[in-house]
Amino acid sequence: MNNFNYDVVVIGGGPAGFGAALASARQGAKTALIEQYGFCGGMATAANVSVYANFPAGTKNVASNIFNEFTTELIHSGGAYKAVNAWVMTNPEDIKHLLDTMLCNAKVDLFYHCKLSEVKTVEGKVTSITAIGKSGVKFDFTARLYIDTTGDAEAAYLAGAQLQAKLDAGSYQPMTMICTLANVNIQSAVKAGAHLIDSKYLFWGNGDDSLNRIVEIAKSNNEWKIPRDSLAMLWSDPRCPEVISINGTRISGFNGCDSYSLSQADIEGRRQVRFVVEFLNKYVPGFEKAGIIKTAAQIGVRETRRIAGQYLLTEDDVLQCRHFPDEIAMSAYPIDVHKSNANGVDYHDLPHGKCYGIPYRCLLSSVDNLLVAGRAISATHNAAGSTRVMPVCMSTGEAAGTAAAISCRDNIILKNINITLLQKKILGLILG
């Protein structure tokens, strides 16, 4: 058995976990990050969702400091570019390397290849957690505070924290297996209607009639085999523009918190990818000679468990662009819920130029020393359709990490920390 002691232990190295661990360490807390894969990035790297949806409120960028630092560096180094609507398109290998570098520079201890397996609690507090490493070796961690950024509220679940009512597998948003093709002729695709960004990158999606018309031709020939209306998005890799990733499959009825169900979803995802490639090769100009070079390491999971925190963010809060005295992150991203049992997406834009706030209370679980950030925060199914995007997850992660460090330093329990101080540290640039 290996025993480790930290001020703060962050579980899960996706956008939220990265934000949380970096913020915590930079604020002076001795911090560890536990991640089941050999790299950080979460869905952006493991599921190849390498597209950060940083929607502004009018012209105002509402992402927190760390997200802006991270994307500025990525763009500067050639590992990312901006496409329409403030989408930041990235190279997953650049993400992995930059996240390693930023976390190591901040002296976060990284425990890759470690999967959370057990959480011990006494009287409503986490006393230790255990992660399983290679060869079945157990790693035991004690800490003053724990941050669950697994996306699936794994630590909260194992700690017995209050969760929102479980949905049937068929009621969660569908999953998507993202695939990547090489050897695409960008100019031909652009002549057929794809956007050309910075004179070299392709960007195309179901918001474009040109793409949807091609899909309709395949449908009329009975050669559209994918259970969705159209392909959601196609985008060039920043390093190799003729390498295109495609968000185009739709896998419904599986449970992202069940290994067997998740395995079936992976298999079905790879099966549907074959249909995507057949369609592109046969129908879409520029893709005639394109070949598949990879499917993502894991299927992209949009929705699983969420905590029932001290406040439940609602659809009304999002659409009314509500603000809160204890808000610690902001978002201008619409409600974007992929329908579970029917085709299409429930999409509701926010009023132009506005954003809403996410209260700190959405991160406070019913377990005293356990914060939750990212996809599993306390928000309803529809509100989470907005809060789930990666810039927002990174912002709630930054808030959780900063809050944890303040709590350790000032020796104050999480729910009593000085919110004004927290807001100053993380929202400084937004508040001006």
Binding region for ligand FAD (CB under 6 A):
11-17, 34-37, 42-43, 46-47, 49, 51-53, 115-116, 149-152, 154, 176, 247, 300-302, 374-375, 388-390, 393
DSSP string, 55-94: --BTTB----HHHHHHHHHHHHTTSEEE-GGGEEEE-HHH
CB–CB of 27/402 below 8 Å? Answer: yes
By C-beta, is 166 or 424 nearer to ligand FAD?
166
Q: How many CB atoms lie within 10 A of CB 405?
A: 26
Of 54, 53, 69, nearest to 18 (Cα)? 69
Q: Give me the helices (H) in 232-356, please.
A: 259-283, 315-319
Angle at 129 between CA 124 and CA 132, to 5 degrees: 150
Q: How many whole angstroms separate alpha carbon 419 and alpha carbon 409?
A: 14
Q: Which is nearer to ligand FAD, 389 or 404 (CB)?
A: 389
Minimal CB distance residue for ligand FAD: 14
Least distance from C-beta 240 to ligand FAD, angstroms?
20
- CB contact at 8 A, 307 and 161: yes
Smallest distance, ligand FAD to C-beta of residue 48, A:
9
Q: Which amino acid is at 82?
A: K
- Choose between 37 and 70: whose C-beta lies nearer to ligand FAD: 37
Residue 309 tokens, joined: 């925190």
Residue matched to tokens 């009304």: 316
Nearer to ligand FAD, 54 or 369 (CB): 54
Shortest Cβ distance from residue 198 to ligand FAD (Å)? 19
Supply the minimum distance, in Å, between the C-beta of residue 348 and ligand FAD.
17
Instruction: Specify the residue, 191 or 347, whose C-beta has the smaller distance to ligand FAD.
Output: 347
CB of 342 to ligand FAD, least distance (A): 18
Closest CA to 348 of 396, 376, 314: 314
Can you tell me the distance from the alpha carbon of 277 to that of 203, in angstroms, rounded to the nearest whole number?
Answer: 17
Nearest-angstrom CA–CA distance, 135 and 389: 35
Provide the total of helices (H) and of strands (E) in the chain, helices listed first: 12, 20
Q: Can you read off the two tokens belonging to residue 10? A: 């962050």
Smallest distance, ligand FAD to C-beta of residue 88, A = 8
Compute the least distance from the CB of residue 221 to ligand FAD, in Å. 27
State the nearest-atom distance from the C-beta of 66 to ligand FAD, in Å.
13
**Closer Cβ to ligand FAD, 238 or 374, answer by number:** 374
User: How do strand 109-111 and strand 31-34 relate by DSSP bridges?
Assistant: parallel
Residue 139 or residue 279: which is nearer to ligand FAD going by CB? 139
Nearer to ligand FAD, 16 or 332 (CB): 16
